[in-house]
Structure 1
Amino acid sequence: MKSDNLGKIQHVWWIKPNTLIGIALLPLYILIGILTDNLDNFNYWTSFILIFSLYLGAQTASSRSKKNTRPVIFNKKRSENILSCLFYLALLGYFFWFFEIIKNPSILMNALSNDGKIFTLRGVIETTPGLSTLSQLSVLYSAIYVKFLTSESIKPKGKYLYFFLILLGMTLFRSWVWNERLAIIEFLCPAFVIYLSAKNLTKKSNNRLRLFPIIGALAIYLIFSVFEFFRSWQFYSKSESNFFSFTLKRLTNYYSSAVENGIGFTSWQNTPSYDGSLVLGFIYQLPYFGELLKSTTHKSQTFSSYLQCCADPEFNLASWPFLIASDIGVPLSMIFFFCMGFIFSIAYKNFITSKNSFMYYPVMYVALLELLRQHYLHSPRFSYILVGAIIVHLFIKAKSKNDQDYSPAMEVSK
């Protein structure tokens, strides 16, 4: 049975939350501290303690025994209904986002002939809050499509492959014109994790997968370099002589600057705000309601204020732990990250045991990869994915219970 293969992914260390944090993220954070000469900074070690709290939470949950659960799988018709719904909603989001380009293609042509400036359409066209964000459902489409595609008996029709390729093309276009490479990681990474869960991993292939982060890091660098060549090299080539050393420096700067921005912001702010604007950042970004919250909990020392006065606006991100500590203080942040680590591990267990909540951990996994660079889980882009995942989960659960022909011990195609 296909469900027997799912548990084998637990041997891949860089997918398990506790080993990913302990073996990769904590050492990488220390390396960044060495390279940026911040090992003697108090705020730097405060963030280290918070990441370690995340590790402890994940390790605590991982040591708990797993319950044996049977897979809950859709029949073919329902799986295709879900994919169709996600596809058209995501496409609608992209339509609202790039409507100005569709209406007036010269906007894109003018941006391409930028006379040596960095290419981007940010500030040229505007997003529509609540509508263009529907494009984030393409992440769920990618993950669920691969899940159904790799099942033994539920094979979506060929048109769903074309839907997948259309959304992939839109993601690549979005990453290019909006300078948003994270969108590619969001679209492909959860799907890849789900693909691995369906593979019958041999000992030899498992050993190869243990070294995959090295290949993945090289792939990220190459993709980053391609995008930078079209986006900014024309501008920076006047002052830089070697393209590959330039892109390597820029890529590492995204991580080192995020740590240094976090250190700088917590020192600049001095005391936590205790307003929840960063812990519950997605609520503050909601149309209308978010504006009301901002007006009632307004504070002068925001991260954007810090960027304007003290940092490089181009490198405008900060590591997740610093932002949470600046919002609710260190003691509460330690509890928060311990709980988050626990949640990550529970979601991982649900994923490898093939529950109907299989889609949560793959999309949350991106937050672990981005931990040192930004607070991904609290952003509006993730909240749309999470809401979509909850709706799909509840739909699967309800339909499975009501289906008289449903067999919990095996996948059934109808």
Structure 2
Amino acid sequence: MATIPTQHDPPLAHLWWLAPVWPFVGIVASTMIAAWLQSDEAFLIYGAPKYIRTEHLYLAAAVIGMFSLGCYLASGSPAARASLFLPLLRSRGAHELQAADARERTIDTIAYRWFLLATLLTLVGYAAWLAVGLKNGFRPAMFLDILRGSEEMNGDVLRRDYFPTIPGVTTCTQFGVPATLLGAWLFLRGQTSILWPLLGLAGISVLRAIGFNERSALLELIFPSMFIVMRMWMLGWPMPARWQQLLRIAPIVSPILLVLFFGGFEYFRSWRYYQDQFDSYAEFTVWRLSGYFTTAHNNGAMGYEKGHPRPLPFYVLKPYWEFPLVEHSPFGYEQLTGYKIEEQHMAMLANHGTDELNNEGGMFQPTLDLGLAGGLLYWLGYGAVSQLLYRRFVRGTLLGITLYPIFYMALLETPLILFLCHPRIFPALVTLVAVAAHVTWALSSPRETQPASELLNRVHAGESSLAAGERN
């Protein structure tokens, strides 16, 4: 029988692996060491010579050190760190609870309005995109062909020939990420009517992930939502000790879950091209997944040796350079510098490696953009901001709970790409920061704070009268 938590069980105060330093150190160190240890012959199986050398290990150590230092500097004083989880555990008086209730209603109202706006933008984006696909000749039978593993029809063909990227329209579909995160916040706070729109957004993402070979479209919704559930339904609540121990060692089983998730989608993506070269699909999945990380580091090292100089930072400012109003304007990257960074990256891989596994290697890009000193300062700031958001995540603020999971996912993507600087996640970052700013403004305006202040005054006056009556 399942163990039911009771009030006598201790609360789950914290999980060590939720702090940003641990996933960053773990994923960067393990994948870089694996790439360094991998033989030249193993890299040639992926179609690229080995460029990873010992000096790249030193760079990884410096990056890890600067990120960790940023986390430490933003973690506050020892007393602040010790009290980080007290808001999860301490009890509140009646006047505090009533004042907090007025604030929470204001926050939920604002979150709901932004949820509706983000959902509407997402649906408009997908509807426009579908209209373009139908105009180009798309038929539902093509999607069924992908599920059957057709040789003629796959996600790359469907995306290229029927659903090309449309500036502005494709961007609108990315508002599904903040819509899902705000919806998860509202649902877990009791607004159960949010469930159906959330399921609709998830269903669209599943179709996109399978049809376009975009696992990230689904992962961007599932992974942060799991973090929100963990924070709002687990941290600070009573839980049997053995369940707490299992959660603390969850990172041990996370690689298995990653392999299962990756393998579930790679079957429709590339298995048909390699099925004659492997004895089992499990062997192929592990080989393919490990290759994504090791070749991404190798591509970053290749950029050090073969890449062109960058007169202006590109990848750390990619949302700006690829913004629809900027990309083809006089202020676009190509117009200002004469360089086409992404085309040059693909040409470099075609000439010196493989353009099939083409991730640029996120750990290397800040250094290639900003130089060694600038790159290390980038990781210092990244660590500080991640730690600040983690503190707000633990304290339960709307900004922390919705935005920190995106940062956490970006940390895990570091060996592959600079996910936090990718245009596809930019709408989510802007939306969630705007929601937080709206909440801050609303709670600080006299119209919103006066009722709570009056309520507190009445409570205090009642307590004083009661105390005076007892004295008499």
The answer, yes or no, to whether TM exceeds 0.5 is: yes
Moved more, 40-49 or 186-195: 40-49
The aligned length equals 398
State yes or no: 1:109 paired with 2:133. Answer: no
Aligned residue type for 1:175: A
Greater C-alpha Rg: 2
> Residue 285 of structure 1 is aligned with which of 306, 322, 327?
322
Distance, in Å, in 1 between the alignment partners of 2:453 and 2:352 is 60
> Residue 156 of structure 1 is aligned with which of 171, 175, 191?
191
State yes or no: 1:185 paired with 2:219. Answer: yes
Other-structure match for 1:54: 67
Other-structure match for 1:31: 34
Judging changes above 3 Å, is the alpha-carbon distance between structure 1 residues 78 and 269 closer, same or farther for their aligned structure 2 residues?
Answer: closer
Moved more, 140-149 or 336-345: 140-149
Distance, in Å, in 2 between the alignment partners of 1:289 and 1:349 is 35
Is this contact kept in 1: 2:231–2:394, CA < 8 A?
yes
Other-structure match for 1:299: 339
Other-structure match for 2:278: 240
> Residue 11 of structure 1 is aligned with which of 10, 14, 18?
14
Judging changes above 3 Å, is the alpha-carbon distance between structure 1 residues 60 and 29 closer, same or farther for their aligned structure 2 residues?
Answer: farther
1:230 Cα offset (Å): 2.3
1:9-408 residue pairs with structure 2 within 5 A?
A: 11-35=14-38, 40-64=53-77, 65=80, 73-75=104-106, 77-103=109-135, 104-106=137-139, 109=142, 112=146, 114-115=150-151, 119-120=155-156, 121-124=158-161, 125-151=163-189, 155-158=190-193, 160-198=194-232, 199=234, 200=237, 202=239, 203-269=241-307, 272-292=309-329, 293-294=332-333, 295-299=335-339, 302-358=344-400, 359-401=402-444, 402-403=447-448, 404-406=450-452
Distance, in Å, in 2 between the alignment partners of 1:204 and 1:391 is 40
Is this contact kept in 2: 1:284–1:291, CA < 8 A?
no
Other-structure match for 2:8: none
Distance, in Å, in 1 between the alignment partners of 2:455 and 2:280 is 58
Is this contact kept in 1: 2:187–2:195, CA < 8 A?
no
Structure 1 segments unaligned to the other structure (5+ residues): 1-7
1:300 Cα offset (Å): 6.3
Aligned residue type for 2:338: H
Judging changes above 3 Å, is the alpha-carbon distance between structure 1 residues 101 and 273 closer, same or farther for their aligned structure 2 residues?
Answer: closer
Q: Residues 154-202 of structure 1, C-alpha deviation per residue, up to 9 Å, x if partnerless? A: x2242x2111011101111111122111222210111111111112153
Structure 2 segments unaligned to the other structure (5+ residues): 1-10, 41-50, 88-95, 457-472
Moved more, 108-117 or 295-304: 108-117
Distance, in Å, in 2 between the alignment partners of 1:89 and 1:375 is 25
Moved more, 234-243 or 296-305: 296-305
Q: Residues 187-236 of structure 1, C-alpha deviation per residue, up to 9 Å, x if partnerless? A: 01111111111121534333211222233322221122121222322232
RMSD of aligned C-alpha atoms? 2.9
Is this contact kept in 1: 2:413–2:419, CA < 8 A?
yes
Is this contact kept in 1: 2:33–2:57, CA < 8 A?
no
Distance, in Å, in 1 between the alignment partners of 2:39 and 2:244 is 35
SS of 1:14's partner is helix
Is this contact kept in 2: 1:44–1:263, CA < 8 A?
no
Aligned residue type for 1:45: Y
TM-score, normalised via structure 1 length: 0.86
Judging changes above 3 Å, is the alpha-carbon distance between structure 1 residues 73 and 326 closer, same or farther for their aligned structure 2 residues?
Answer: same
Distance, in Å, in 1 between the alignment partners of 2:277 and 2:114 is 50
Judging changes above 3 Å, is the alpha-carbon distance between structure 1 residues 105 and 11 closer, same or farther for their aligned structure 2 residues?
Answer: same
Is this contact kept in 2: 1:18–1:62, CA < 8 A?
no
1:341 Cα offset (Å): 0.6
1:284 Cα offset (Å): 0.8
Distance, in Å, in 2 between the alignment partners of 1:377 and 1:10 is 28
1:10 Cα offset (Å): 6.8
Aligned residue type for 1:297: T
Distance, in Å, in 2 between the alignment partners of 1:277 and 1:297 is 11
Is this contact kept in 2: 1:13–1:20, CA < 8 A?
no
Q: Residues 261-294 of structure 1, C-alpha deviation per residue, up to 9 Å, x if partnerless? A: 1111111127x42401122111111113123322
The structure richer in helix per residue is 2
